[in-house]
C-alpha cells in the first residue's frame, strides 16, 4: 500500500537539497543536485534495490523479477531543477516510483519482469541549453562533440562537468542502455492549468511536444549613445526586439496544431546605458506536438530574422542547440493507465504534454506511457510550484496498479 507519510518525509528531505526562500536550486551536476541524487540512491538501497550508476551519472535501481531474462519494466523521472524552481517537477516521478517498489515489497507482491527505477541526470535545459540529457545518454543519442559543444554560462562544458564528477564523458558513445525494455512509464506534475481547471485528478498523456532550440546572435555596431544620430545607428538590441516580437507573432498565427515560441535568453553586449548595443544573443525555443507545424514555423522565423537583419544593416548567426521530435504515447499504455485509473475510480482526462520529458526518448524502443497530476494554479519552474500530497498519492497508486499488472508475464502490451 502506498504510504502517504513515507512519501511526505521524502519530499521534505529533498526540499533541503538546494532549497532556500528563492526556491529550489538543484542545477544539474551542482553540489545540491549531487546531494539530492545521493539521497535517492540511499532510498533505493533502503528499498532493497540493486543500484547501478552509468557513465553519465544516471541512477538505476533494480527490483529483480522471478525471470531475470525477460525485458525490464522501467519507471522514473529526474530530480534536478531549474534556478529558483520547485520541489515537485521530476521529483514526483522519482519518489513515487521508489514508493511503488516499497509498497510492492510491503505487500509481498511477486512479478516476473524486473522493475527498473531510474533517476535521470540533467533533464532540465537550464544549465547547458539542452534538455533530457540523461535519457539521451542512455539512448545513445549523445556524442563527445555534443559534450564539448554544450557549455554553461560560466564557460564550463558538459564534458568538464562530467569529468568533475568523476564520470565517463569519453565513453558517451558506447553508453547506450543495452537491456531490452518491455515498457516505460513516467509520472509528473502537469506544469499547466488544464487538470485543475477541469477538476481532474489524473491526466493520461497522449503525446509529448518536441522542442527545437537554437541561439541567434545579432551583430550591429556598439557606438556612443549621445554622439550617434538615430539614422546612423545599427542597434543590435532594436533588431533583436523586432525578432522577439516577430517570433511571438509567427507562432501565434499557427493555430491548429498549435506551436509555441519562447525567447528565454537575451544577452546584450556591452550592456552599458550609454552605449548602443553591439550584439545580442537570443535563446529561442519552438515546440509543438506536430513536427511538420513546428518545422514550418522555424522556417518562417529564420526567414524573418534574415529580413529584419538586412533591413537594419545587421548581421547574424544561428547556432543549433537541440531538435527533438514530438512523440505519441503507445495506445496500449494509454489503455493500461486508463484501466488502472478507472479501477481506482479517479476522475481523469486524456491530454497532450506541451513540456518535454524523459519519456519521449523511450517511446522509440518500447511502449511508453505518462501520467500527470495537477499542480496548483498550473505553476511550475517557480518557487510557488506545489502539488497536493493527496494527488501525489493518487498518482502513485495508479502507477503501482500499472506496474503490478504489466510486470507479469501474461500481460502483454499489444
Please give the Cα distance from 390 to 86 (Å, whole number): 18
**pLDDT, tens digit, 9 for 90 and up, residues 324-345:** 889 999 999 999 999 999 999 9
Q: Can you tell me the distance from the alpha carbon of 107 to that of 105, in angstroms, rounded to the nearest whole number?
A: 5
pLDDT, residue 253, reads 94
CA dist., res. 297 & res. 213, Å (int): 13
d(Cα 351, Cα 160) in Å, to the nearest integer?
39
The CA distance from 85 to 385, in Å, is: 7
157: pLDDT strictly greater than 90: yes
Model confidence at 4, pLDDT cuts 50, 70, 90, reads very high
Break the chain into its structural domains and give their ranges: 4-209+326-406, 210-323
Over residues 255-284, mean pLDDT: 96
210-323 CATH fold: Alpha-Beta Plaits (3.30.70)
Please report the sign of the dihedral spanned by the C-alpha atoms of residue 347, residue 399, residue 356, residue 124.
positive
The residue-averaged pLDDT of 25-51 equals: 98
Residue 359: pLDDT over 80: yes
Q: What per-residue confidence (pLDDT) applies to 412?
A: 74
The 10s digit of each residue's pLDDT in 142-151 is 999 999 999 9
- pTM value? 0.86
Q: Which three cell numbers stand for residue 381?
A: 519552474
Question: For a pLDDT cut of 90, what percent of the chain falls above it?
Answer: 96
Is CATH 3.30.1960.10 correct for 4-209+326-406? Answer: no
For the CA atoms of 194, 198, 201, 203, the dihedral, rounded to the nearest 10 degrees, stands at -50
Mean pLDDT, residues 242-268 taken together: 95
> 414 pLDDT band (50/70/90 cuts)?
low
Instruction: Judge contact between 392 and 187, C-beta under 8 A.
Output: no
3-state DSSP of the chain: CCCHHHHHHHHHHHCCCCEECCEECCCCCCHHHHHHHHHHHHHHHHCCCEEEECCCCCEEEEECCCCCCCCEEEEEEECCCCCCECCCCCHHHHHHHHHHHHHHHHCCCCCCCCEEEEEECCCCCCCCCCCCHHHHHHCCCCCHHHHHHCECCCCCEHHHHHHHCCCCHHHHHHCCCCCCEEEEEEEEECCCCHHHHHCCCEEEEEEECEEEEEEEEEECCCCECCCCCHHHCCCHHHHHHHHHHHHHHHHHHCCCCCEEEEEEEEEEECCCCCECCCEEEEEEEEEECCHHHHHHHHHHHHHHHHHHHHHHCCEEEEEEEEECCCEECCHHHHHHHHHHHHHCCCCEEEEEECCCCHHHHCCCCCCEEEEEECCHHHCCCCCCCCCCHHHHHHHHHHHHHHHHHHCCCCCCCC
Asked if pLDDT for residue 56 goes beyond 80, the answer is yes
Answer yes or no: is pLDDT of 161 > 90: yes
What is the pLDDT confidence band of residue 25, given thresholds at 50, 70 and 90? Answer: very high
Q: Angle between the 389-406 and 331-343 helix axes, to the nearest 10 degrees?
A: 120
The cell numbers describing 147, all together, are 559534450
| pLDDT tens-digit map of 103-142 | 999 999 999 999 999 999 999 999 998 999 999 999 999 9
Q: How far is CA 307 from CA 175, 301, 312, 315, in A?
A: 43, 10, 9, 11
pLDDT tens-digit readout, 192-247: 999 999 999 999 999 999 899 999 999 999 999 999 999 999 999 999 999 999 99
**Average confidence score pLDDT of the chain:** 96
Cis peptide upstream of residue 270 (ω within 30 degrees of 0): yes
pLDDT computed for residue 411 by the predictor: 78
Note the pLDDT of residue 324. Answer: 87
What was the pLDDT predicted at 282?
A: 98
Q: Would the pLDDT of 410 be above 90? A: no
Taking every pair of Cα atoms in the chain, the longest distance, rounded to a whole number of angstroms, is 79
* Residue of 145, 143, 121 lying closest to 133 (CA atoms): 121
Amino acid at each position: 500500500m502506498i504510504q502517504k507519510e513515507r512519501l511526505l518525509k521524502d519530499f521534505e528531505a529533498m526540499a533541503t537539497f538546494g532549497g532556500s526562500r528563492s526556491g529550489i536550486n538543484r542545477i544539474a551536476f551542482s553540489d545540491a543536485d549531487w546531494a539530492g541524487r545521493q539521497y535517492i540512491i540511499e532510498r533505493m538501497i533502503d528499498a532493497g534495490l540493486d543500484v547501478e550508476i552509468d557513465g553519465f551519472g544516471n541512477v538505476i535501481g533494480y527490483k529483480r523479477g522471478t525471470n531475470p531474462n525477460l525485458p525490464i519494466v522501467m519507471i522514473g523521472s529526474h530530480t534536478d531543477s531549474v534556478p529558483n524552481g520547485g520541489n515537485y517537477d521530476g521529483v514526483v516521478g522519482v519518489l513515487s516510483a521508489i514508493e511503488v517498489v516499497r509498497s510492492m515489497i510491503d505487500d509481498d507482491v511477486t512479478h516476473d519482469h524486473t522493475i527498473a527505477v531510474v533517476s535521470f541526470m540533467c533533464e532540465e535545459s537550464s544549465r547547458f541549453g539542452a534538455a533530457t540529457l540523461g535519457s539521451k545518454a542512455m539512448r545513445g543519442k549523445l556524442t563527445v562533440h555534443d559534450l564539448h559543444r554544450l557549455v554553461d554560462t560560466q564557460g564550463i562544458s558538459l564534458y568538464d562537468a562530467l569529468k568533475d564528477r568523476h564520470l565517463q564523458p569519453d565513453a558517451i558513445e558506447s553508453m547506450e542502455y543495452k537491456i531490452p525494455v518491455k515498457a516505460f512509464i513516467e509520472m509528473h506534475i502537469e506544469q499547466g492549468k488544464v487538470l485543475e481547471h477541469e477538476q481532474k485528478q489524473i491526466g493520461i498523456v497522449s503525446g509529448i511536444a518536441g522542442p527545437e532550440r537554437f541561439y541567434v546572435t545579432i551583430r550591429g555596431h556598439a557606438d556612443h549613445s549621445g554622439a550617434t544620430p538615430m539614422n546612423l545607428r545599427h542597434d543590435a538590441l532594436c533588431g533583436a526586439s523586432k525578432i522577439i516580437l516577430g517570433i511571438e507573432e509567427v507562432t501565434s498565427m499557427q493555430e491548429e496544431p498549435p506551436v509555441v515560441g519562447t525567447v528565454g535568453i537575451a544577452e546584450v553586449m556591452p550592456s552599458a546605458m550609454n552605449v548602443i548595443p553591439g550584439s545580442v544573443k537570443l535563446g529561442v525555443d519552438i515546440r509543438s506536438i506536430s513536427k511538420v507545424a513546428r518545422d514550418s514555423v522555424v522556417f518562417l522565423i529564420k526567414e524573418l530574422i534574415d529580413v529584419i537583419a538586412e533591413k537594419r544593416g545587421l548581421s547574424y548567426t544561428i547556432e543549433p542547440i537541440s531538435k527533438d521530435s514530438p512523440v505519441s504515447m503507445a495506445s496500449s499504455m494509454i489503455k493500461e493507465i486508463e484501466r488502472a485509473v478507472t479501477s481506482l475510480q479517479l476522475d481523469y482526462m486524456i491530454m497532450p504534454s506541451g513540456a518535454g520529458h524523459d519519456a519521449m526518448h523511450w517511446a522509440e524502443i518500447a511502449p511508453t506511457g505518462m501520467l500527470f497530476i495537477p499542480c496548483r494554479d498550473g505553476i511550475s519552474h517557480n518557487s510557488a510550484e506545489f502539488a497536493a500530497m493527496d494527488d501525489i498519492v493518487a498518482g502513485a497508486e495508479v502507477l503501482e496498479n500499472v506496474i503490478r499488472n504489466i510486470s507479469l508475464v501474461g500481460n502483454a502490451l499489444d
